[in-house]
Amino acid sequence: MQDPDGTRYHETDDSSVETAGLFLRPKTGIRLAANGARPGVDRHVNVTVRLFAIAKDLAGTDFVELKLDADATIRDLRSALISALPSLSDIADHMLFSMNSQYAPDHTPVIPDADIGCIPPVSGG
């Protein structure tokens, strides 16, 4: 293509990159929006939470994508997860979360693009 001043440029179509990225997701996962945004605040982050053991069984998926406020904490993530997947409500108080392979208490700020895991209660011997 060419601008009115004669400068040539090439337009790229980024939609194929985004579309291609969707095919890299496991087919067993689901995407849900559980945005607890406060009125007037439109900043948000998308996070992927991996589910394990009984949480995975109850949810019927091994991961879920959530939209959270940019300043969300693990406590906010827990609430959004339960809102999106009510089947986890019975174990909600006993779930732990990890972020980048470290346990993350409820007051921990959620880091965008972090590896977040939902660790349900386990028992056995």
In the predicted structure, residue 50 carries a pLDDT above the cut 60: yes
Looking at residue 42, its pLDDT comes to: 58
pTM of the model: 0.66
Measured CA to CA, the distance from residue 9 to residue 77 in angstroms comes to 43
Domain count, the chain: 1
Q: How much is the average pLDDT of 101-124? A: 93
Supply the mean pLDDT for the chain.
77
Asked whether residue 12 is assigned to any structural domain, the reply reads: no
* CATH number of 53's domain: 3.10.20.30
Give the range of the structural domain holding residue 100, as residue numbers without chain letter: 26-119
Q: How much is the average pLDDT of 51-58? A: 96
Per-residue pLDDT of 70-108, as tens digits, reads 999 999 999 999 999 999 999 999 999 999 999 999 999
Between CA 18 and CA 27, with CA 23 as vertex, the angle to 5 degrees is: 135
Asked whether residue 18 is assigned to any structural domain, the reply reads: no
